Amino acid sequence: MVLVFVLSFQLGISQDEYGIAHSNYAPTKTFLHNPTNTLDNKTYFDFNLIGAGVFVYNDYLFQKGTQFSFMKNIVLGELWPDFQFNTNGKLKQGFQDTDVQLISGAFQYKEHGFAFGVRTRTYFDFRRVSTSVGKLIKDGTGRFEDYYGETLNTKKMFMNQTAFTDISFSYSNMFYHFAHKSMALGITAKYLIGITGAGVKVDELEFNVSDPSITDFFKFDGSVAYGVGDSGKLSAGSGFAVDLGYVYKKTLHNITHYEPFSKSSACENYDYKLKIAAAIIDLGFINFNKRAARIDIETDPTQVALDANSLTFEQFGNFATDNLTNTTKTDEFRMLTPAALNIQVDYNLENNFFISGQYMHGFFRRNVFGVKRPHVIAMSGRYQRKWLEGSLVASAYNYQDFRMGLAIRLGYLTFGTDKLLSMFGVADFYGTDAYFNIRYFMTKKPGCKRRHKKGRNNATDCVKN
């Protein structure tokens, strides 16, 4: 059942991977946060073979930490214990992100950075869901006896799901480099192939359940939409999105004559002391127009039979059209992509140690369909060398869900989690995160041979004010 996909803790795959978001050896991953990350990093060429991971977050359904662990129940496949419900009365929210990076590459030439990528992504979220409505969705009307005869209300409630293939091309340019300072701009253009998309937007809902099969709707203003495409075809629509990025760096070396990976720089790149970056990512839309529908609802009081155990988005749309008054149906709709503002700061402590901060702000959506990214604040410290990299991350999702994470890179293999404690059953399980990727990279330009050590002539290892 699509409507309880997140509530039932099916697993997805995360793209954000904050443990490697600042790595200078992974531009095929970090350019997803900011297109300028293809520039001025430690790799001349980077090729991502495959990447995958797991991300689930919600504050409603959970497993008792004493009964559940990631290793036992997910990796080893043991039977899951019964779900528990957080019924503290607050409006509930959840988010699931799936991103399988199929193939991607990145390289840089002087002041220019380039990247391409092909990914399959799915998202699901629910926002401002009351505990009573959540219980109805999860259990169906047959187990809603605690609320018989009680009038229930909710406003501004949302559920969205989308899956699409993302084909992207990225370009960035260092438009300023003088002494120990540089600035760059970047853009990533994305062509999106919509696989599925669906949403429910409730502006105002007032109802009660009088018995296991009868629901009285006193007021229902909102919309439902779905696009599933023709049978046997992977496209239900198409769209476009862009990432726009900016970066400022204060470097350890003089970069007035910027020639990374050349003989004049000892065939290497330049190190920075401070990096400040900002980007708007996934700013775009998908138009669903193949086996698609949008139903706008403004119903009068009515009594209907409702079987919540069988409601997919499409079935709910058919139910609304057949049973509710004042509905308007169109054969296409638009979903916005999960856009966000991303700000990053990275400070080089030198001797291969760095300390970093990141803020991700998901744009708010109330009047349109589209998944909303959660707000994330993350702090990390890392040790970084060519063949070994480790990062410890502390993050907070939507300013409340605190997580500790760990990422390790052993040469071409990277693996990690942004929620380490969820692996061991030491706390109640509201979600988890894990990821890995396998990449091949080159840190030297083919054919480049050192003539002198970097730091001579136009380079120095101290920062001048």
Residue pair 43/443 in contact by the 8 Å Cβ criterion: yes
Q: Is the pLDDT of residue 95 over 60?
A: yes
pLDDT band at 459 (very low <50, low <70, confident <90, very high): very low
Mean local confidence (pLDDT), 187-207: 92
- Residue 357's nearest CA partner among 423, 277, 443, 411 is 277
| Residue 386, pLDDT score | 93
Does 296 or 52 have the greater pLDDT score?
A: 296
The DSSP-derived string for 62-79 is EB-TTT--IIIIIIS-PP
At 395-432, the pLDDT tens digits run: 888 887 788 889 999 999 999 888 777 777 677 777 77
Burial of 465 (0-12, 13-18, 19+ CB in 10 A): exposed
- Fill in the DSSP letter of residue 457: T
At 354-373, the pLDDT tens digits run: 999 999 999 877 778 999 98
Map residue 431 onto helix, strand or coil: coil
- The domains found in the chain, sorted by start residue, are 2-442 (2.40.160)
Does 175 or 316 have the greater pLDDT score?
A: 175
| Residue 177 CB contacts under 8 Å (≥ 6 apart), including other chains | 111, 183, 255, 256, 258
pLDDT band at 141 (very low <50, low <70, confident <90, very high): low
Q: Is the pLDDT of residue 45 over 80?
A: yes
What value does the mean pLDDT of the chain take? 83
At 115-138, the pLDDT tens digits run: 999 999 989 998 888 877 776 666
pLDDT band at 307 (very low <50, low <70, confident <90, very high): low
Mean local confidence (pLDDT), 135-156: 70
| Residue 14, pLDDT score | 43
Most confident of 77-81, 87-91, 153-157: 153-157
Integer-rounded Cα Rg, in Å, for the chain is 25
CB atoms within 10 A of CB 450: 12
The residue to which tokens 């419900």 are assigned:
85
| Residue 232, pLDDT score | 67
Structure pTM?
A: 0.86
Task: Return phi, psi of residue 320, to 5°.
Answer: -65, -45
